[in-house]
Homo-oligomer: A and B are copies of this chain.
């Protein structure tokens, strides 16, 4: 896990806003989990219960929580060891971008403005008037339509398709097989039941630092934009319908589906396989349990679960009782019989 970088514990602590306990001059050359870290690595402990493993770990130092008391190790104490460990790991993993240029087999359209410091892989096919920023990497087999704009420091992985007119910010990562800007699903149905396709003339806009997993589908708007705002992170096999807006820093876990014209506020979280119906407003910070289906508008900070989704706390209580439904049903039947009996016995005798 060791890379070619060396940094003192003191400087690492500055990077993560932490405090050194032990020798600040210890040199760290890499990062690893407790069971794999080597003698030049720093590791991390997210919970006190894992402290025992520090004794058997080969790491040179540890990121631990501020309030954790542990002797005999070089430590950096931080508020959030999990966050700090991500920052430290990124420090060691980051490599300077190496521009490999445009592969011989890539096809580039007319009127493109592509920075010189890029890598465009084999068999990429890029349309006309496409703009690509500096230090951006386009994988093998990627297809980019006309008039697409891609910012700096993006990584577009193999076999991704970005349809015409899409706009990507900087620092965007799109994993293999994902499709950006396919037509939205819109039809008008005539009296015979035939579906007339509505032209889908809008675009997809993707903000800075958005990451989208593999084999996702993000549809272009009917008019206007489908918009994934900055900092959002989307897992694999996720569907984003036409004209949806995903707020900043939202998290959509694998196999989520957001129907058309639905707007999510910032920092919304949808658990795996959850979905939202169309034309809804889901307020900032809302969290939706995996597998749920959101209908209707919900205010900021909602906690939702179920199909259709309602208050998550209530849903968990209801769901925990679902297995008792046969028992409840039987009880109610018996109670009704008993009541008839009681009712008869309590009637004044005639």
A284 to B83, CA, bound (A): 35
Q: A143 touches which one: B158, B213, B224, B328 (CB < 8 A)?
A: B158
* Residues of chain B with a CB closer than 8 A to A21's CB: none
The B-contacting residues of A in range 189-204, CB under 8 angstroms, are 189-190, 193-199, 201
A233 to B197, CA, bound (A): 9
- Which of A52-60, A67-75, A129-137, A235-243 faces chain B? A235-243
B185:A213 contact, CB within 8 angstroms: yes
A195 to B236, CA, bound (A): 17
A217 to B217, CA, bound (A): 13
Q: At the interface, yes or no: A264 with Cβ under 8 Å from chain B?
A: no
Q: At the interface, yes or no: A99 with Cβ under 8 Å from chain B?
A: no
Q: At the interface, yes or no: A259 with Cβ under 8 Å from chain B?
A: yes
- Which of A5-13, A85-93, A110-118 faces chain B? A85-93
For the complex, count residues of A whose C-beta is within 8 A of B.
110
A326 to B231, CA, bound (A): 39
Given A177-B179, A328-B328, also A85-B214 (CB < 8 A): no
Q: At the interface, yes or no: A350 with Cβ under 8 Å from chain B?
A: no
B323:A311 contact, CB within 8 angstroms: yes
B198:A89 contact, CB within 8 angstroms: yes
Q: At the interface, yes or no: A318 with Cβ under 8 Å from chain B?
A: yes
Cβ-closest chain B residue relative to A190: B83
A85:B223 contact, CB within 8 angstroms: no
A165 to B: closest C-beta gap in Å: 14
Cβ-closest chain B residue relative to A192: B249
Cβ-closest chain B residue relative to A328: B332
User: What is the 8 Å Cβ interface bit string for chain A, positions 270-290, against chain B (1 contact, 0 not)?
Assistant: 001101010000000000001
